[in-house]
Amino acid sequence: MISVISFIAILGFLIFIHEMGHYLAARHTGVHVQTFSIGFPPKMWGKKYGETEYVISWIPLGGYVKLLGQNMDDEDPQDPANYAAKTIFQRFYILVSGPAVNLLFAFLFMPLVYVAGISMPKYLLDPAIVNSVQENSFAQKIGLREGDEIVAVNGNEVRSWEEVHTQFGNINTATVALDVDRKGYLHNVTGSIEALKEQGAGWIPRISPVIGGFSEVSPVQQSGLQIGDRVVRINGLEVNEWRDISRIIQQSQPVVSESDAEIKHTGITVVVEVDRNGETTVAEITPYYNKTTKSYLLGMTVEQTRKAYSLWTSIKMGTERLIFITTMTFNFLGKLFVGEGSFDDLGGPLRIGMVIGDAVEKGLADVFFMMAVISLQLGIFNLLPIPVLDGGHIFFLGIEKLKGSPLSAVLRERTQMIGFAILMFFMIAVTYNDILQLR
């Protein structure tokens, strides 16, 4: 019920602001708005105020604003209140206002994610002390040692692993210089960015063996262990840090050969002891084999915490995040267009509803994030040059501008039918994919 109610409320709001964009632009240019509907027919409720009927319909997957003259059977270029009587620029203004409002709200919502506070691994806020160094790694080759604390990156002071990662993301030079505190003495080590990208850092921070969350498949959660439990022993062997968990689990499980890697494997049950508020709790857990990581997993994540940022920092981080998501969206659409993308990566109404439900349970920041992402996707999707969508109408306006006159009614009607068929195929495909994912 949480997923259903949240889905209707959040998607309904985002559809409302989209249609409100069209509505306000139409009113601003003097076009008569006949119907303002949230949802698709059949109609659930409707009431007429002035010349406009305001409607809530049963199918909460979209909405529409019906304008006088936007359909071919009521076009009247002589009527000032008719959509067909407006200039190309005015019609463009009406059409683009819906997606524009969605894009604007995405840029408003995303900074709120960082103001409310984002969830992150707790160790990222710890001092950047190297717990160990991997053999033949970038860290070892530049001379980092166990116990070194990174205090500056390219001259910029850092006080945590999070700040180290931030500074690494801002590097625009060919080399990276690290100032490290080694037993009270300051040392400087340098290496090339190219080597860092090729090999990875190779240093390992100390992460407490505290359960911070559960993955989608989680034998740990099924066993009754809880978030906040500290793992102290597995099969009687001491666990001092997070990486000890994986090491002990892999040692206790059968080896999976390359030829059998694609087969579903169930591991050997292990005894896990945890400390819960000073008391010892014991659970027997059977790890599962993950084909991607090629290892046995218990299905849990590291200890988490939330960090809130200042408004200015949140605006900067939110904008960067949206630019990244926008870039990834267009990259995916490009791959899908040339046949390299997969429908498995698309989410329909069912998957969106589940994701929204999960976000509501996790907290306000996750809700803001989902609202920003969905609003962004609605804006982008509606601008695609597909007949029926706003982008298709805008595309026809461009042709009209070049041609000097509107396209024929017959051609517009046929393209609308084609666009509707494409849209229905798309909706059926993603919904079917959602159902397969739920099986």
- pLDDT for the residue 346: 60
DSSP string, 339-389: T-S-GGG---HHHHHHHHHHHHHH-HHHHHHHHHHHHHHHHHHHTSS-TTS
Sign of the dihedral defined by the CA atoms of residues 206, 211, 213, 218, in that order: positive
User: Contact, 211 vs 275, CB < 8 A?
Assistant: no
State how far the Cα of 352 lies from the Cα of 358, in Å rounded to an integer: 10
Quickly tell me which residue has 């809700």 as its tokens.
367
Among candidates 44, 35, 42, 41, which has minimal Cα distance to 66? 35
- pLDDT band of 353, cuts 50, 70, 90: low
Average pLDDT, stretch 297-315?
92
pTM of the model: 0.75
Token readout for 47 is 């009431």
State how far the Cα of 343 lies from the Cα of 330, in Å rounded to an integer: 15
Token readout for 222 is 């099924």
Average pLDDT, stretch 348-372?
73
CA distances from 158 to 115, 129, 165, 173, 178 (A): 22, 11, 9, 18, 10
In the set 19, 163, 273, 303, the catalytic residue is: 19
Per 3-state DSSP, the chain is made up of helix, strand and coil in percentages (nearest 5) of 50, 25, 30
Structure confidence by residue, pLDDT tens digits, 43-77? 899 999 988 999 999 887 788 899 998 887 788 88
Give φ, ψ of 209 to 5 degrees: -80, 55
**Cβ atoms < 10 Å from Cβ of 227:** 14
Secondary element (H or E) of residue 409: helix 409-438
DSSP bridge pairs for 299: none
- pLDDT band of 354, cuts 50, 70, 90: low
Domains of the chain: 2-116+368-433 (no CATH), 122-205 (2.30.42.10), 213-304 (2.30.42.10)
User: Contact, 63 vs 37, CB < 8 A?
Assistant: yes
Task: Give catalytic status of residue 19 as yes or no.
Answer: yes
Residue 100 has pLDDT above 90, yes or no: yes
User: Contact, 94 vs 82, CB < 8 A?
Assistant: no
Structure confidence by residue, pLDDT tens digits, 240-279? 999 999 999 999 988 876 666 556 667 899 999 999 999 9
Among candidates 294, 291, 286, which has minimal Cα distance to 264? 291
State how far the Cα of 88 lies from the Cα of 99, in Å rounded to an integer: 18
Structure confidence by residue, pLDDT tens digits, 80-98? 999 999 999 999 999 999 9
State how far the Cα of 164 lies from the Cα of 261, in Å rounded to an integer: 36
